[in-house]
Structure 1
Amino acid sequence: MSGGLRVAADQDTGVAVVTLDRPERLNAIDLDLARALASCWQELRFDDTVRAVVLTGAGERAFCTGIDRGADVPQPRSPYMVDDPLLGIGPKANGLWTPVIAAVCGMACGGAFYLLGECEFIVADTSATFFDPHTTYGMVSAYESTAMAQRMPYGEAARMALMGTAERISARRAHEIGLVSELTEPGAAVAAAVRCATVIASYPPDAVQGTVRALWTAREASRAHSFAQAPALIALGNLPAGRQTELFTARHERTPGYRLR
């Protein structure tokens, strides 16, 4: 599949591995990749041979670093209409109830949470780190914080969102607080996720998908309510794009420093 996405399906096990394939950009999501992800999930809705999915990123440095800052996303003037290209990149946003397991190595930050928030669970190796850079650059973390507040204790989600680039959650800490369900040695996250997916894919798919749908129902109402408020919060709280760029440039002109916990 084009657009910076690779899909490999094993017909014997019923497991597909979906790989974000822009390692030179730390698997950041541009508009082409956003469209490819939506298309991938929509196609999998009609593929009965795939009964479980593993989502990962190419390379060792990052699972995904969110929106590609080079992507040109024009915005309406109204605060009630924020055009966010990442809102449609997740499996649930595209009506896919085949279970998806995330396999994370390296950085997972910002817009990566749109994907992690719609996976059933996360397997990570010890190189994984999780952080949210929005506040550092004068941006509101709305959709991302909603997704993470449903996956981890409120205080941990709040600390990650508010500390910005000054702090990263280590894989071990993520495992301790329940964000990560299994911790592996470096390079072993995909294999561990595939093992789980293979077990799940061996079960009757209607029962599995019904269970995924039931689990998602428990989160759906609060998520929809929070997302409905997000456009206005972003419009009110975000600095102008030029000022965001200034903060980003100033931050990266000096040696980046952060605390790992």
Structure 2
Amino acid sequence: MTPPTPTVRVDRDKDTGVAVVTLDREAKLNAIDLPTAAQLTAIWREFRFDDTVRAIVLTGAGPKAFCTGIDRTVDVPQPPSPYAIDDPLLTVGPKANDLWKPVVAAVRGMACGGAFYLLGEAEFVVAGENATFFDPHTTYGMVSAYETALLAQRMPYGEVARMALLGTAERMSARRAYEVGLVSELTPDGEELAAALRSAEVIAGHPTEAVQGTVRAVWATREAARAQAYAQAPHLIALGNLPPDRQAELFGKRGTDFRIR
């Protein structure tokens, strides 16, 4: 069997100790299909054993998007029970794979929906001034549960609620994301990757045990609230999501607007 074409690119710099992980589906606005999800999981788990990698920068290929969530053309089979939901994005982040090396996200263009699984597990976010953040779930008849749980640990309640409830009608600018705490550094468009690399290189130069311990300590302060929210998410999604055919109908009507803005 021919292995799937790599859709995630990894570039290691052994001199600095920084690896750059790039979502490499530019033609699909770096949406995550099942092979991409599997590759991300494998990469994070591989980094656990690679002492040459001490910090990571996560970004997306091209100027249009960091990541636009799950690829809507992917068919994800679901168990027939309302008590079980298979979400392939639950394991695409570093923390979900027991990786405690720091991750800095560099965002250019759109970051929406399932992108927050990745941004929510990064230590901090650097964004170009033309980046935009939004959550399309409610527009397409879906409950935003995991995404909002992660966003609520980075932004004030009202900002999370506004983004999630307004769906594709609300686009948070990079400037506003910086003002409310989702973004920690704002750069001219196209300079976000270089800025993220500068921070990652500084971090990679510190003693690795202290760095990873600090990452774990910071994450632990948020873990209890996140775990409780995640425990409720499957039931809320099962109760609130429209049937897949109705979701597809709404996406077909409004998906073009989502893509081009």
TM range (shorter): over 0.9
Question: CA–CA distance in 2 between the matches of 1:101 and 1:66?
Answer: 18
Q: Relative to structure 2, which stretch is displaced further, 70-79 or 192-201?
A: 70-79
Q: Deviations over 1:134-183 (max 9, x none)?
A: 00010000000101011111110110000100010000000011110000
Name the amino acid aligned to 1:170: S
Question: CA–CA distance in 1 between the matches of 2:116 and 2:259?
Answer: 22
Q: Does structure 2 retain, via aligned residues, the 8 Å contact 1:123–1:192?
A: yes
Q: Does structure 2 retain, via aligned residues, the 8 Å contact 1:166–1:257?
A: no
Question: CA–CA distance in 2 between the matches of 1:62 and 1:149?
Answer: 22
Task: Give unpaired runs (5+ residues) of structure 1.
Answer: none
Indicate the residue corresponding to 2:75 in structure 1.
Answer: 72
Shift of 1:256: 6.3
Shift of 1:218: 0.4
**Aligned with 2:117 (options 110, 114, 117):** 114
Question: CA–CA distance in 1 between the matches of 2:183 and 2:215?
Answer: 18
Q: Does 1:176 align with 2:179?
A: yes
Shift of 1:80: 1.3
**Aligned with 2:232 (options 229, 234, 240):** 229
Shift of 1:239: 0.3
Question: CA–CA distance in 1 between the matches of 2:111 and 2:45?
Answer: 24
TM (norm. structure 1) is 0.96
Question: CA–CA distance in 1 between the matches of 2:94 and 2:15?
Answer: 23
Name the amino acid aligned to 2:67: C
Name the amino acid aligned to 1:141: S
Q: Does 1:145 align with 2:148?
A: yes
Identity %: 69
Q: Does 1:163 align with 2:191?
A: no
When the two chains are superposed, the root-mean-square deviation of aligned CA atoms in Å is: 1.6
Shift of 1:257: 11
Question: CA–CA distance in 1 between the matches of 2:62 and 2:258?
Answer: 21
Indicate the residue corresponding to 1:20 in structure 2.
Answer: 23
Indicate the residue corresponding to 1:54 in structure 2.
Answer: 57
Aligned length: 258
**Secondary structure, aligned partner of 1:230:** helix
1:212–1:257 CA distance, 2 compared to 1 (3 A): closer
Indicate the residue corresponding to 2:132 in structure 1.
Answer: 129
TM (norm. structure 2) is 0.96
Which 4+ residue blocks in structure 1 deviate beyond 3 angstroms?
A: 255-258
Name the amino acid aligned to 2:72: R
Indicate the residue corresponding to 1:85 in structure 2.
Answer: 88
